[in-house]
Structure 1
């Protein structure tokens, strides 16, 4: 699967265009609306509810964003849907609700989260729930995960979607799953082995030696999370596009067709 032009051309709003001080929490409906109004693609995160529904939420624990206690996976979708985000009027949306709201107005970059303490393969159930919500959705979407097994599973089900691997927390390519990570012993595992078409890489790990190898091999690289013009300048040294928050980058040109593939 080739990478669509939008993924490499227009800065992507990290967890939506959020501003907690203005009552717009991350990964909320309001953050999605703000990104749509500004014309920015939206990066968002998915966690599973206790009853297996894909919910738009970053943390595996509820405390930081809702003030509740315990893991997201301990609550049903209905319970999560009633929880207020950061004392705002916003509540936790399901992925299906988020899709209905955005309705193809801007592209979406969806990150599938793994759950601490669970086997890596357990994330496959969340992949399936996310793809079920996407069934029939006509807007532009790309999907990524730190979990290479989740990516490989998703590629088998929806090879028509662009899939990527998120990297950049440690010395190797797959820091959350070191059993797959040949980089620890000297050579980076190729994300294309799992069907990934792109990499979203952390700015703090920009000196990872294998990033240059991937770029030279033609693998598109995005950079996260960029929070200032100075960081953007650093990111542009190795990445084609950025995921940003806390400032407004130059939006760049909007591609005429969200589905247009990037040039080889």
Structure 2
């Protein structure tokens, strides 16, 4: 009996791997841009800041950014789980109110942590947005609040997350919004993500539950068979985070667009 159960389990996994992970093609505009990682930042211009987003707009790049939810429910644009690296303060975005976060400054500059509403107002459709939902668990208020803001936003945008639950929420509740699955080889770090979920994400088995329109994979993993097969089937593939011309040249045959920092690809909007 156990043997029969194992056989059927293996068959189910093989089905998911070879069929259910096919996904659906992304909206065509997604492949027309390269994405400035946390804005077009530099040693003088901090990541995920208003000036970094303004620089990306002027250079013709799309913008990748990250969204958390503060203690009092305000959507904040910030990457890390804790505040120390970028602000010198202890704690997490989720532990502080907007008033407390407003007192902090990014990387020793005069720039503060922007709210999502401020970023939407500044960008105002002048560059596409690739919005990462900073959630590694079940979907909830973060997904709802981001959707409520985006319903009335004019301009191109897509959401992405490492959490398949977040991506699934958009599949079920807002299928008109392009959605992407973030993934990686998970060779180090990512301890906040359960081991089973890391395995499922690495092999993109989780696509069966969230049906992403595109895949945004760590640059070292875009040569994997499953990623190449998805791209062959029409699913757009991005690579994160590319940091040099050499890295760009090495991944270019396997991807449609890249998320970059520390160098600038040739042209923000590129012809296909």
Smaller-chain TM-score bracket:
0.7 to 0.9
Contact 1:128 1:154 in 2 (8 A): no
Q: Per the alignment, in what secondary structure is the counterpart of residue 236 of structure 1?
A: helix
Deviates more, 1:26-35 or 1:131-140: 131-140
Shift of 1:208: 3.1
Scaled by the length of structure 1, what TM-score is found? 0.85
Residues matched between the structures, number: 246
Q: Distance in 2 between matches of 1:177 and 1:213?
A: 26
Q: Does 1:10 align with 2:10?
A: no
Q: Does 1:179 align with 2:196?
A: yes
Structure 2: runs of 5 or more not aligned: 1-23
When you count helix as a share of all residues, which structure comes out higher? 2
Residue of structure 2 in register with 1:105 after alignment:
126
Shift of 1:170: 2.1
Shift of 1:179: 3.4
Q: Distance in 1 between matches of 2:98 and 2:204?
A: 38
- Structure label with greater radius of gyration: 2
Q: Distance in 1 between matches of 2:119 and 2:251?
A: 29
- From the superposition, tell whether residues 135 and 78 of structure 1 become closer, same or farther in structure 2 (CA, over 3 Å): farther
Shift of 1:66: 0.5
Q: Per the alignment, in what secondary structure is the counterpart of residue 119 of structure 2?
A: helix
Contact 1:14 1:42 in 2 (8 A): yes
Contact 2:39 2:56 in 1 (8 A): yes
| Structural mapping, 1:84-99, within 5 Å | 84-99=105-120
Q: Distance in 1 between matches of 2:106 and 2:250?
A: 32
| Structural mapping, 1:118-157, within 5 Å | 120-121=137-138, 123-157=139-173
Scaled by the length of structure 2, what TM-score is found? 0.83
Q: Distance in 2 between matches of 1:63 and 1:181?
A: 26
- From the superposition, tell whether residues 13 and 187 of structure 1 become closer, same or farther in structure 2 (CA, over 3 Å): closer
Q: Distance in 1 between matches of 2:214 and 2:269?
A: 20
- From the superposition, tell whether residues 63 and 183 of structure 1 become closer, same or farther in structure 2 (CA, over 3 Å): closer
Moved over 6 A (4+): none
Contact 1:96 1:134 in 2 (8 A): no
Contact 2:168 2:210 in 1 (8 A): yes
- From the superposition, tell whether residues 187 and 81 of structure 1 become closer, same or farther in structure 2 (CA, over 3 Å): closer
The C-alpha deviation readout for 1:42-98, integer Å capped at 9, x for no partner, is 000111111122210000100000010011111012322331100111100111111
Which of 224, 229, 232 is the matching residue for 1:213? 229
Shift of 1:7: 1.6
Shift of 1:252: 5.6
Q: Does 1:75 align with 2:96?
A: yes
Contact 1:151 1:165 in 2 (8 A): yes
Contact 1:45 1:110 in 2 (8 A): yes
Structure 1: runs of 5 or more not aligned: 256-261
Residue of structure 1 in register with 2:67 after alignment:
46
